[in-house]
Structure 1
Amino acid sequence: MTFESFDFHAHGGLNSETFCQFLVHCARHNVSDIFIQGGGPLVVDVYGRKVRASVFRVEPPQLQRLMDEVFSEQIKGELKAGRGIDRTLQLTGDMAQRHGLARGERLRFRCNFVQATIGDYDTVPALTLRTIPTAIPALESLGLEADLFPYLLPHKGIGLVVGETGSGKSTLLAAIYQYCALNDPDRKIVTAEDPIEFLLNFPGAVLMPEQSEIGRDIPTFAEHLRLTLRRAPGVIGVGEIRDPETLSGAVMNGQSGHLCLSTMHTNSPGETIPRALMLVPEGQREAMAGNLLSNLQYVIAQRLLRTTNGKRQAVREYLVFDDHVRHELGKLPYTQWRNWIDNHLAGLGRRMSDIAWRLYREAQIDRRELLTVISAREIARREATT
């Protein structure tokens, strides 16, 4: 894995324009994240590996000037008040090929600003930028399992894509929206995101998706779900289910005959329902469990594992809630659902650990990466039985 450094000196030093050129350079060299800390060098993430992208350090005053010029002078005051900020940065080319972009070419970055103590520096700004690919990949190109693909766009209910930060949840959902817009044009797509990442801009679609940003267009995910039913939606996107109001709204939308797609920060289908139920008061959990069982269409847990060829590969553990699964879970108290789901997927050899083990045996991932999925004891057990 190599990253071609950007020569700031040859472009006139570090300033707002060369910084934007650097961002374009990163996007074109498969950089997923860019890390800028007051008093530290520029660092980038390429396929999950951190690489220094500058020989010089960005001093705090210099970083502050960049933030003022590229983003907004208001950010400084927000950070001093102890408030982190999430923003989206869009770079657009013009006739003069501004930032090195062709006319009409656009790049987007999700940006997070915080104030922190870093090394010898106290209360300095730190900026993390996530590259948002311009082109949404075709759903067919993501290597989805054949028995999962047909279930991604049911008529109604709830579909969840879960996983840790940076696991490709947003990419998978954007690909689903794109597939729907181009292949099922009678379904209007409306989403709420925090912030908007992929632009759902599909010129070939009959009706363009409507994307709302939390804090700019609408106050909360729950309010989005309440208002969306008046907009004749076919597919409703919710950036994340993270409070009881949003969970209840998703259930209500599913019950009313709409498809609601969202995410959660869980690591497996078995973990997802218990985590969702923890959002509601204990006395309401049994009723909510019943609502989830009747409305959930699928839970897809995804991770990106670093491969031995220097890239990354998506691996998935998923459960489609068909009639058999609903029947079996319906016979059990909801407190036993996680065990049943885990055992069911283990019996099929479809746990994340099973997939990672096969990749390891095929030398597609190394032992260090395997240990991010399976414990050393479990590796020893598997090695002893093979």
Structure 2
Amino acid sequence: MADVRKRFEIIISSALKESMSDVYITGGHPMVSRKSGVIQFHAASNWTHKDVDDLARALLNPRQLEDLKHRKSVDFAISLSGARLRINTFTTERGLSFAVRVLPGQIPTIEALNLHPSLHDIAKMTSGLVLICGATGSGKTTTIASIINDINNYRKAHIVMLENPIEYRFYSRQSFIQQRELGVQLPSFEQGLLDVLRENPDVIVVGELREPKTMQLTLNAAESGHLAIATLHASSPEEAIYRLCYAAPLESQDEIRFQLAETLNWIIVQQLVYIEKAGFRVPLLTIVKATKAIKNIIRENKLNQLHSAVQIGKSEGMFTSDRYLSDYLNTLISFIPYSQTFHPSSSEVSEDINYQSPLTDDMSESILPKKPLYKQNLQP
């Protein structure tokens, strides 16, 4: 197992040098990577089924192996070769497979991600809801990390982050940051939100809004004077609002709509696009700010008017994706390569962030349910 782990470390080191965003390993097949959104095959790097099984034994702890056995997949994150890796291990017709997302070893700044400087304004917010939306792999978690990094450098706050898994490790600077991982320190986002409201936080990060109860509790947190920052799988601001409102039972949808209108600060929808003069992909944003006009559109359920309101809201700092491209990305003289963020995290502050209390941790059992969480995972 030591040999396959060393081989894996060499692959990750190479991925960092080559600016690969993803690495895929499966038995009986050449390794596959993704760079600038394009899939590449590595014929010289073949893994046997035994190699992949040994890699699982080398990387997963007993609790994660138990999850893999019962759920047929497991998510976790580790630090390796100066980077953070978000890993999904899952079963296929070829046996075990690994999907590895390569994350920066150091938490990137807003500038390092080539994001619009107005995102610094989020660090000054003390309450309300900020939604970071986009497809899987669009960089939502990294954008949130840059925002939390900004808050951590800017002001004193108690920040609680509910994640699945913990992708970026934070050290407290100006802010006191606590991170909880689904399946390790909390059984569900719902329970985590119920807990966190008793912990007097200033900022709450919710790794994913998927279940209706999680959505409702996040809105409640924003309404009660906390800054709530959450990710949502949505490809447009209209879809984000629709998903939040229509996830609730019919009799509650009007109430949710009014609550969202009252609490919303920003909606950011992002995708990664290749910019020729940069030579790599950068985030392309749609930015919606909760002006009076936007709030009225949400209350009155007139989502067909939202795009026009964003176009009109240029003076308020709102961007459609087209305007973001023309007025911001196309005006940049230079871009910062994402690969520049791939170096070891600063050790300026010493914190023990990998401790599991023996009072709560049983490595032989997971606190996640052994049945699949979502209906789409159920076998017919």
The residue type paired with residue 47 of structure 2 is V
Structure 2 distance, partners of 1:216, 1:74, is 9
1:16 and 2:5 correspond: yes
Asked whether the equivalents of residues 83 and 106 of structure 2 are also in contact (C-alpha less than 8 Å), the reply is no
Higher relative contact order (CA 8 A, sep 6+): 2
Secondary structure (helix, strand or coil) at the match of 1:139 reads coil
Structure 2 distance, partners of 1:63, 1:303, is 32
2:31 to 35, 38, 42: 42
Q: Which residue of 2 aligns with 1:96?
A: none
1:266 to 226, 234, 238: 234
Cα–Cα, structure 1 residues 108 and 17, in superposed 2: closer, same or farther, change >3 Å?
Answer: same
- 1:266-324 Cα offsets, whole Å, 9 max, x none, are 01112211111221111110111000000011100011112335410211001010234
Q: Which residue of 2 aligns with 1:321?
A: 290
Shift of 1:32: 1.1
Structure 1 distance, partners of 2:120, 2:290, is 14
Structure 1 distance, partners of 2:51, 2:320, is 48
- 1:87-145 Cα offsets, whole Å, 9 max, x none, are 22223xxxxxxxxx5xxxx432111111112xxx4xx1111011121111122443443
Shift of 1:25: 2.7
Structure 1 distance, partners of 2:60, 2:263, is 42
Secondary structure (helix, strand or coil) at the match of 2:129 reads strand
Q: Which residue of 1 aligns with 2:218?
A: 250
Cα–Cα, structure 1 residues 54 and 201, in superposed 2: closer, same or farther, change >3 Å?
Answer: farther
The residue type paired with residue 173 of structure 1 is I
Asked whether the equivalents of residues 241 and 263 of structure 1 are also in contact (C-alpha less than 8 Å), the reply is yes
Shift of 1:58: 1.2
Q: Which residue of 2 aligns with 1:189?
A: 159
Q: Which residue of 2 aligns with 1:173?
A: 144
- 1:43-98 Cα offsets, whole Å, 9 max, x none, are 1112212222341421212211222223357766755655211122223xxxxxxx
Structure 1 distance, partners of 2:60, 2:236, is 37
Q: Which residue of 1 aligns with 2:346?
A: none
> TM (normalized to structure 2)?
0.78
Secondary structure (helix, strand or coil) at the match of 1:24 reads helix
Shift of 1:239: 0.3
Asked whether the equivalents of residues 152 and 159 of structure 1 are also in contact (C-alpha less than 8 Å), the reply is no
Cα–Cα, structure 1 residues 78 and 61, in superposed 2: closer, same or farther, change >3 Å?
Answer: farther
Asked whether the equivalents of residues 76 and 166 of structure 2 are also in contact (C-alpha less than 8 Å), the reply is no
Q: Which residue of 2 aligns with 1:224?
A: 192
Secondary structure (helix, strand or coil) at the match of 2:21 reads strand
Structure 1 gaps, min length 5: 1-12, 92-100, 365-386
Structure 2 distance, partners of 1:252, 1:172, is 23
Q: Which moves more between the two structures, 68-77 or 289-298?
A: 68-77
Asked whether the equivalents of residues 110 and 116 of structure 2 are also in contact (C-alpha less than 8 Å), the reply is no
Q: Which residue of 1 aligns with 2:48?
A: 59
Q: Which residue of 1 aligns with 2:87?
A: 111
Alignment of 1:92-111 (within 5 A): 106-111=82-87
1:238 to 192, 206, 212: 206
Structure 2 gaps, min length 5: 334-380
Structure 1 distance, partners of 2:248, 2:192, is 19
Structure 2 distance, partners of 1:243, 1:209, is 25
Asked whether the equivalents of residues 229 and 253 of structure 1 are also in contact (C-alpha less than 8 Å), the reply is yes
The residue type paired with residue 18 of structure 2 is H
Cα–Cα, structure 1 residues 49 and 177, in superposed 2: closer, same or farther, change >3 Å?
Answer: same
Q: Which residue of 2 aligns with 1:29?
A: 18
1:126 and 2:131 correspond: no
The residue type paired with residue 115 of structure 1 is T
Asked whether the equivalents of residues 302 and 314 of structure 1 are also in contact (C-alpha less than 8 Å), the reply is yes
Structure 1 distance, partners of 2:33, 2:228, is 35
The residue type paired with residue 69 of structure 1 is A
Secondary structure (helix, strand or coil) at the match of 1:53 reads strand
Structure 2 distance, partners of 1:233, 1:74, is 29
Q: Which moves more between the two structures, 62-71 or 124-133?
A: 62-71
The residue type paired with residue 316 of structure 1 is L
Q: Which residue of 1 aligns with 2:171?
A: 201
Asked whether the equivalents of residues 329 and 340 of structure 1 are also in contact (C-alpha less than 8 Å), the reply is no
Structure 2 distance, partners of 1:280, 1:46, is 39
Cα–Cα, structure 1 residues 275 and 128, in superposed 2: closer, same or farther, change >3 Å?
Answer: same
- 1:144-169 Cα offsets, whole Å, 9 max, x none, are 43555424541211110000011111
Cα–Cα, structure 1 residues 145 and 77, in superposed 2: closer, same or farther, change >3 Å?
Answer: closer
Greater radius of gyration (CA): 1
Shift of 1:18: 2.3
2:127 to 156, 161, 185: 156
- 1:228-269 Cα offsets, whole Å, 9 max, x none, are 122221111110111111111111111211101000000111
Q: Which moves more between the two structures, 77-86 or 281-290?
A: 77-86
Cα–Cα, structure 1 residues 167 and 232, in superposed 2: closer, same or farther, change >3 Å?
Answer: same
The residue type paired with residue 156 of structure 1 is S
Asked whether the equivalents of residues 80 and 115 of structure 1 are also in contact (C-alpha less than 8 Å), the reply is no
